[in-house]
Structure 1
Amino acid sequence: MKKLFLIIGAPGSGKTTDAEMIAARNSELIAHYSTGDLLRAEVASESERGKIIDSFISKGLIVPIEIAVDTITSAIKASSADIILFDGYPRSFEQMNELDLFLQKDTSISLISIIEVVVSEKVARERVLGRARGADDDEKVFNNRMKVYTDPLEVIQNFYETKGLLHKINGERTIDAIVDEMEIYIKTKI
């Protein structure tokens, strides 16, 4: 059975970097996937699906649920690792609900925890606009991405808190402190 850890956080919270570092330190045991990276790779392939995804990502909007869930579950099942860190998902009540329904039916994947990397909007803004990787890192798109993240956040937090699965980590410290804490937490759960 695959053990799944979902890692959420605002744009610029460092969730992808944190998960990458933990997976690199434990490559024989843990694999990391980023929803954003998987979707951007599909866009780069210039497939029809990639064009559809791009029409949402380029505006800072959420990709349709069916595409996101299929992308995530396919990556998890194809992984050779039994412990999966998946960042950037869920981003809406609908995505959370769809994944929950999928996991109830498919017993080959078990959701162990959802880890929220908590940063203020000010810190997130400084990080995203400071890195400016592409078209999705300008002020207008950042504002939209932040709204897309924060609007459903309370519902997502409450859902996973009720299930005893939500764990918050302060994302405004040094990267080593954040990664060390997250790695220790994950290892206590496996």
Structure 2
Amino acid sequence: MKKLFLIIGAPGSGKTTDAEIIAKRNGDIVAHYSTGELLREEVKKGTALGATIASYIDNGKLVPLEIVIDTIVSAIKNSDKDVILIDGFPRSVEQMNALDEILDKNPDIKLEAVIEVVVSEETAKERVLGRARGADDNEEVFKNRMKVYLEPLAAIEKFYEEKGVLKKIDGERGIEEIVDEMEEFIKSKI
């Protein structure tokens, strides 16, 4: 059975870095997929699908539901590891509901926890604009990405809280502290 951990947080919260470190430290059992990276890989391939994805990413908009869900489910099913960390998902109530339906139909995948890395908007902005990885790392796009992240957040938190799988972690601390807490929590669930 695949044990699934979703890691959510504002742009710049450190969720991808945290998950990468945990996967590296536990490479024998843990696989990590960043929703953003999975989608950017498709863009790099130069396919028609990649061009469609790019048109959304470059404007800080959500990639259509079917594309994201297919990408994630395919990554989970094709993974050779039993513990899967996916960061940056879900980012909307629609994504959350679609994943919930898929999990209902796939008893071989169990959602163990949704880990939210909590940072202030100010911290998120400083980190994103400080790293400036690409065309999507500027103030205007950041504001849009933050708005897209915050709008469904309360509903997503409530949904997973009611399922008893939401875990919040303070993302304002040093990376080692955050990673250690997250890793310890994940190991307690597997």
Structure 1 length as normaliser, TM-score? Answer: 0.99
Match of 2:106 in 1: 106
Q: Distance in 1 between matches of 2:139 and 2:181?
A: 31
1:93 and 2:103 are equivalent in the alignment: no
- Give runs of aligned pairs for residues 115-126 of structure 1, distance below 5 A: 115-126=115-126
Question: Which runs of 5 or more residues in structure 1 are unaligned?
Answer: none
Deviation at 1:14, TM superposition (A): 0.1
Read off the aligned partner of 2:105 and give its amino acid letter: K
Match of 2:52 in 1: 52
Read off the aligned partner of 1:50 and give its amino acid letter: G
Match of 2:82 in 1: 82
Deviation at 1:66, TM superposition (A): 0.5
Aligned length: 190
Read off the aligned partner of 1:164 and give its amino acid letter: G
Deviation at 1:107, TM superposition (A): 1.4
SS at match of 1:50: helix
Question: Which runs of 5 or more residues in structure 2 are unaligned?
Answer: none
Structure 2 length as normaliser, TM-score? Answer: 0.99
Deviation at 1:106, TM superposition (A): 1.2
Deviation at 1:171, TM superposition (A): 0.3
Q: Distance in 2 between matches of 1:55 and 1:134?
A: 14
SS at match of 1:135: coil
Deviation at 1:127, TM superposition (A): 0.2
Match of 2:140 in 1: 140
Read off the aligned partner of 2:177 and give its amino acid letter: A
- Give runs of aligned pairs for residues 1-190 of structure 1, distance below 5 A: 1-190=1-190
Per-residue deviation, residues 56-88 of structure 1 (Å, max 9, x unmatched): 111000011110010001001111100000000
Per-residue deviation, residues 112-157 of structure 1 (Å, max 9, x unmatched): 0000000000000000000000000000000000000000000000
Measured on the aligned residues, the alpha-carbon RMSD in Å equals 0.4
SS at match of 1:91: coil
Deviation at 1:111, TM superposition (A): 0.5
Q: Distance in 2 between matches of 1:3 and 1:122?
A: 33
SS at match of 2:172: coil
Q: Distance in 1 between matches of 2:106 and 2:67?
A: 17
Per-residue deviation, residues 75-103 of structure 1 (Å, max 9, x unmatched): 01111100000000000000000000111
